[in-house]
Structure 1
């Protein structure tokens, strides 16, 4: 058993505390039982000091020693409880005249007699051992006398051996019950502790595997609907999320590498072609330079997107707020994509009211939102498809809707498309961080971003910003 294990701490703390409490209960109960039994004996002895004694030793004119001895013998002979207790009669000199046992009482001490002589009640009790070693309780009762003259005493003696034996049996019974309780608590406690320790060990083993890079590790057969079971489920979910994040990160690295390599390859190829003979074919040279410029812009856009994502992750995504018109920025973004729609054979519909939509925001960032959403719509829409842009301003908000007739997003992927690195369609180029940056920009402008999509029919992206009310 490990010194610092939960089981060891439970045994040291809980079990030891229970044993200590039971030990204290046994001690207290033993003392109380002893006092109760001994008190019952005292009451029995005290009940003997009644008028029966007075009837034998009443005050009379004849108080001679012979008369006293005769009365003492008569009292002892008539005593009915000889089998229960022993009785002595003590004369005025303190000597035992007669005893119910018939044996000599020499060398016996009876301090209760001396105490009774000075007691106001004329009675005294003593617990001790006789010369034979037997433990007894004795009560001395002073006989009535005239004046200050001592008339003697009657002493009742009862053995405590049977009572002490009874007390020992009671204590042994309590000890047995305590052992049964301790055994039950130990068994049930160890069962309970192990029901916690076993899954904790599994959790620890799984956590070590995860820490070493085994993201496929799971806690098997955690069991139970209690807090331990919930913890195991949470750790399994955490491992799954980490595994998914790691997978998406690797896919992101692979995608970005591909996105960087493709334009670089095109630029390098056209650069080598132009370098071989830049004069012979002027049209080819011009075409190559256009490709290099286009791919350079694509690289710049990708790098800017990566930088924005890095700033967002570090909390350093800056916003240069100023008064602006949201629809003016939307108009500029749409204008950028008009040539692309013609070039790719896609229809771009634009329907926006002439009413201004003023707000406080970062114009470049707002334009970045629209450009990114439009770029996604164009990427996921085949030739012959349609991208429509509408906007309306009412009740202090402007709602911009960008809908396409592209491939759509599977319902299982839709809740995650704004998460970093997530790509619902790996076959289309893109880093998987664009919508994450867009969502952050919209939130920073107190706006909302929502997506609705039907797989195979298209996607609708709705952006809502709060705007300043304008006078009509």
Structure 2
């Protein structure tokens, strides 16, 4: 239930129904509680009005000095609901002088409703809260005034809400159980239906995953001639087409590379001939153009050939012991003029550390060149590219950080794949990072990328030092480096 059809069904069906039930239960619960509390408030208000009428009828109005005696008589002789609610009579100074419980009144207990009644225009106040004992109650108070508006006392009714809350909790429990029963029925019926779809889909997914990993010979056996069966036929056809396309692509790269090398040789030969003697102005201009274009095309051809060798397993390393920092120095130096011309800052934190590694000098320099070229290519004018190297834990680590456009999160997992380009507007074949990643792996290292769109990218190249490989030769499988390690052991 973590991804795919099950997840969508769970969110779109179970999730929506759960939210509807949850909102309905919460709404009904609040309505039940509100209705219960409103009923209790009406009951308290009715009893309070009854007492006020008694007080008014006994004295002919509220202009009486016998307020205490009349309320005491009512509480002791007339009031019949002492087991359900409590009534209090307060003097004009806010002190409780009698209650229906018969116990000594707690003068320290806060009475927010009494304070509210004194401040309100209708002399009424209401409060729902907890007493100092922790009991939840509802209290209503009516301030009693004479004809001149002077306070002569107050009447306060209070009732416990514990029973009401228990009844409300029972209603809510019943609603929750009903909702849970509905959810259970919906889940069981939906799970049965989804299972009838997921089992064949998972079989198709497994075969499709093998195809995605490059096994274009896999075929799916269909069990039914329905929509799933049609999907199986379509995937089988796709696998055949992908296999053919893969072979065509490799053949294309190989043939194009060789076809480009032939005219390049002719171009360079013609340039050398022209340099021997001709019209100086035309000769110099033409030679410069031919050489520059031939070098550019030659670089593209070499890159395509390298990729073809990697794909076919024919790339061979000329392994030797070398200082990786020195190779990095030369690669950075190659891009100094370019960075200055493009108005970008190339920062290099030079180090005196030695980083002896076993590897191919030209291939490792090619890795640095590809990474630096990408960093400058995707960094705008005024931006900066920083290069730093360090030796730690038996590895040399080279960091190339730029302030360019960055790589979108959805493209980051794929940028090291062959022919993949996250930005189609920038020049390049799309195989530079793939080559760099493969060459680094052949040396027992790793190329890792971290990027934030709009902020920049950091490429981290890690390679094992000679001592690390000598202690753990299984870190690298490249035959040339293995042979070099064997010779050193001898």
Shorter-normalised TM range: 0.3 to 0.5
TM-score (norm 2): 0.42
TM-score (norm 1): 0.43
The structure showing larger relative contact order (alpha-carbon pairs under 8 Å, at least 6 residues apart) is: 1
